[in-house]
């Protein structure tokens, strides 16, 4: 066995253990989400200094005061979107590109926004190397969304705002779901479903995310 082959076997084993112990054991059931979490190589999205911690149950720093989210939270937020394939998905906060890759595995077209140009550039390169052709990137203020590409069947924000940005609600299609953390000192992960009769909000669980930065 070559050294590279041995490393890939090691990473695959750690990834499988991550899914079983951190994700399935905590109630994630959507088979498409579990398949995506088993496939996306999280170690390709962390800095060299954090490589040995790539599959641990915690967020990790990626520079510019940003983090790659805890694997369980990535899986949980993705499951809450209830994706079935083919949706146009807006991601606010590209970060490392890990959540982006998980969304891309769900079979839709992903439009991802990042305010920090260096992070967007690195994520674009990583995802290209991994063969993801269904992702479009932009650098800009996530609070404004991506109006030229709206409406979206699902929107996921990986940074916390004090209140729901109105532009994101406006760009959500009827029947679509917006999942985002709200709050400053105390944050809650919220899901907002757009219906013909109005928006329905649901509190999912307490979380801790970096703040959504203004442009």
85: Cβ–Cβ under 8 A, 6 or more apart, which residues? 32, 106, 107, 108
69 assigned to active site: yes
Closest to 116 measured CA to CA, from 138, 134, 147: 138
Active-site residue, from 5, 21, 69, 120: 69
What is the token pair recorded at 70? 């805890």
Q: Give CA–CA dist 63/46, Å, rounded.
A: 10
**H helices within the chain, ranges in order?**
3-18, 31-39, 71-80, 98-105, 117-129, 166-170
Catalytic residues: 69
């Amino acid at each position: 066995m070559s050294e590279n082959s041995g490393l890939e076997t090691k990473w695959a084993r750690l990834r499988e253990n991550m899914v079983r112990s951190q994700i399935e054991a905590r109630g994630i059931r959507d088979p498409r989400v579990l398949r995506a979490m088993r496939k996306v190589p999280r170690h390709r999205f962390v800095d060299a200094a954090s490589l040995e911690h790539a599959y641990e149950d915690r967020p990790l720093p990626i520079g510019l005061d940003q983090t790659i989210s805890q694997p369980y939270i990535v899986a949980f937020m993705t499951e809450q979107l209830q994706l079935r394939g083919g949706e146009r998905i807006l991601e606010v906060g590209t970060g490392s590109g890990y959540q982006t890759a998980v969304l891309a595995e769900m079979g839709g077209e992903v439009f991802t926004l990042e305010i920090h140009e260096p992070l967007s550039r690195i994520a674009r390169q990583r995802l290209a190397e991994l063969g993801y052709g269904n992702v479009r990137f932009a650098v800009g203020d996530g609070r404004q969304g991506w109006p030229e590409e709206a409406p979206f069947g699902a929107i996921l924000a990986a940074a916390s705002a004090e209140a729901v940005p109105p532009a994101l609600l406006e760009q959500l299609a009827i029947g679509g779901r917006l999942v985002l953390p709200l709050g400053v000192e105390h944050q809650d992960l919220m899901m907002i479903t757009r219906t013909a009769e109005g928006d329905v909000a649901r509190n999912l669980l307490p979380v801790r995310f970096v703040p959504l930065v203004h442009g």
